[in-house]
């Protein structure tokens, strides 16, 4: 095994699971063993929560300037060790190594840089009153957080949640997905190298989300849950958290519409939408799940889109190679899910315009369906893979009704040179992010998240993301003599 026998990081100490059990993570491309990690259970979760609770008074009482300096130091260390995490992205997740730089590793550093800046500007409010009382509304850290992250942008999302919760003054237990267990342990090693970070401020445990994630959500000493993942798992997390009425920040699934008008810059639309659909094998909640193209430019769009698909298909291969544009799907089980949806599309009567299925395990290239109708499973469900669903439209009101008829509310985009008209149409979308002539431009400086079945609570990222790990406290001062 490349990484050998690894341990969890609890209370600043490297430990095995109480049970002594382990599991092995795999190289998603070759199937070879990468590393052995502890198989945590509830006893290990209890240890981690207790360590975070003990560290909370120490960390929360640090000044914002002290927290900012430590966060900046972590950002610098991520950049210094960037090559290591780029390689892990390729091995555990399948992201081409040379592409992991910007979306995952460098952006992870940016998460800490942004959090370091924002936490120095946390402000309260003085509320005037005629009753002889001064009111001061201040922001305070919520307490101990359970941070439950997904496998699709592993390092970026681990870093985002840890950075924001630390900036707020919270301590945490990070439960990363088992697929990315080595990445989470190596992240813990990085944090362990930061001497100024108190022991127990962050704790990293490895184990199944079905056991550990839901247990953390129900834990009496967890005050807040930061979760990114599927809507179905989010519902389970909410149910587990409900008896203790925890604060929740949840970024969930999406089936995101992109509407292309006849006056759109087709080259830009094709380049951007194909990138967001195929660059991470479609394994992103913000991928354009439904692309609506006006009949006047439909044929030209398909021609250009097919050419873009060929570029990605020609670059399908080993994520460690610099020529690779698309690596494998993250696991065998996810491969079976994605290919089953391709079968559903065929069974339901859609036209398989481009078939990306291969005879190589876990690899699916760009796949495109046309002649898709709203009753089809590929139209309504989040596939989370490199499968494009393209719908021809003619009437504007009809396409807007189609695009907004969905349980999700994550993101949407309109492609048109008529910005004023696009803005007006954007008012009809119930989404967390609406874009014009771009799609899903996530940045550490900007909040991100959905509404309806795509999310609940504070948005992630940006200044607003820190507030998700804080509570309001009202201080009243009598001015009577």
Q: Where are the domains of the chain?
A: 4-252+454-474, 257-444
The strand order across the sheet containing 290-294 reads: 351-354, 367-370, 387-393, 290-294, 257-260, 411-415, 433-436
Return the percentage of the chain with pLDDT > 90, whole number. Answer: 75
User: How confident is the model at residue 444, as a pLDDT?
Assistant: 78
Query: pLDDT tens across 94-105, in order?
Result: 888 887 666 667
Q: pLDDT at position 468, please?
A: 93
Over residues 276-288, mean pLDDT:
91
| Radius of gyration of the CA atoms of the chain, in A | 23
The 8-class DSSP code of residue 421 comes to H
Read off the pLDDT of each residue in 69-76 and give the average, rounded to a whole number. 96
Structure confidence by residue, pLDDT tens digits, 117-167: 999 988 889 988 877 888 999 999 999 999 999 988 889 899 999 999 999
| pLDDT for the residue 266 | 97
**Beta-carbon neighbour count of residue 377 at 10 Å?**
15
pLDDT band of residue 185 (cuts 50, 70, 90) is very high
> What is the predicted pLDDT for the residue at 481?
66
Task: Say whether pLDDT at 404 is over 90.
Answer: yes
For the whole model, what pTM was predicted? 0.93
pLDDT per residue as tens digits for the range 330-387: 999 999 999 999 999 999 999 999 999 999 989 999 999 999 999 999 999 999 999 9
Q: If one looks up domain 257-444 in CATH, what number appears?
A: 3.40.309.10
Closest CA to 163 of 462, 472, 440: 462
What fold is seen in the domain 4-252+454-474?
Aldehyde Dehydrogenase; Chain A, domain 1 (3.40.605)
**pLDDT for position 154:** 87
CA distance 133 to 480: 8
Buried b (16+ CB within 10 A) or exposed e, 220-238: ebbbbbbbbbebebbebbb
- Element holding 239 (H helix, E strand): helix 231-241
Contact 142, 469 (CB under 8 A): yes
Structure tokens at 247: 């604060």
In this predicted structure, which of 39-48, 123-132, 415-424 has the lowest mean pLDDT?
123-132
| For range 48-53, the mean pLDDT | 98
Q: Which residues are identified as catalytic?
A: 251, 285
């Amino acid at each position: 095994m490349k990484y050998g026998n690894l341990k969890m990081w609890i209370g600043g100490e490297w430990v095995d699971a109480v049970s002594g059990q382990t599991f092995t993570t795999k190289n998603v491309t070759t199937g070879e063993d990468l590393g052995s990690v502890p198989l945590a259970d509830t006893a290990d979760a209890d240890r981690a929560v207790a360590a975070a609770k003990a560290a909370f008074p120490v960390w929360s009482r640090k000044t914002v300037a002290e927290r900012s300096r430590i966060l900046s130091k972590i950002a610098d260390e991520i950049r210094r060790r960037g090559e290591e995490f780029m390689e892990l992205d390729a091995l555990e997740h399948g992201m081409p190594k040379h592409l992991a730089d910007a979306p995952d590793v460098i952006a992870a550093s940016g998460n800490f840089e942004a959090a370091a800046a924002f936490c120095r500007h946390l402000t309260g409010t003085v509320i005037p009153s005629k009753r002889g009382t001064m009111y001061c509304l201040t922001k305070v850290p919520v307490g101990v957080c359970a941070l439950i992250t997904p496998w699709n942008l592993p390092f970026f999302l681990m870093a985002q949640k840890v950075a924001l919760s630390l900036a707020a003054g919270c301590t945490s237990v990070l439960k990363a997905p088992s697929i990315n267990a080595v990445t989470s342990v190596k992240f813990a090693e990085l944090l362990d190298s930061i001497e100024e970070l108190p022991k127990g401020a962050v704790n990293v445990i490895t184990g199944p989300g079905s056991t550990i994630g839901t247990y953390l959500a129900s834990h009496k000493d967890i005050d807040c849950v930061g979760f990114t993942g599927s809507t179905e798992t989010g519902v389970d997390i909410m149910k587990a958290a409900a008896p203790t009425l925890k604060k929740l920040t949840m970024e969930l699934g999406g089936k995101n519409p992109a509407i292309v008008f006849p006056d759109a810059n087709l080259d830009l639309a094709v380049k951007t939408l194909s990138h967001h659909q195929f660059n991470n094998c479609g394994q992103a909640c913000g991928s354009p799940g439904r692309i609506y193209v006006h009949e006047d430019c439909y044929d030209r769009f398909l021609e250009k889109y097919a050419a873009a698909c060929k570029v990605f298909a020609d670059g399908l291969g080993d994520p460690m190679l610099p020529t690779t544009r698309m690596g494998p799907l993250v696991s065998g089980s996810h491969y079976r899910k994605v290919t089953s949806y391709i079968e559903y599309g065929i069974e339901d009567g859609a036209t398989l315009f481009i078939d990306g299925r291969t005879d190589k395990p876990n690899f699916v290239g760009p796949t495109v369906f046309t002649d898709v109708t709203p009753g089809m499973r590929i139209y309504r469900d989040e596939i989370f893979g490199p499968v494009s669903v393209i719908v021809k439209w003619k009437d504007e009101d009809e396409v807007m009704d189609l695009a907004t008829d969905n349980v999700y509310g994550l993101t949407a985009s309109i492609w048109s040179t008529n910005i004023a008209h696009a803005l007006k149409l954007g008012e009809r979308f119930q989404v967390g992010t609406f874009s014009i002539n771009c799609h899903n431009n996530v940045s550490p400086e900007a909040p991100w998240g959905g509404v309806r079945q795509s999310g609940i609570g504070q948005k992630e990222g940006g200044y607003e993301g820190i507030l998700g790990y804080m509570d309001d406290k009202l201080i009243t001062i009598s001015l009577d003599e």
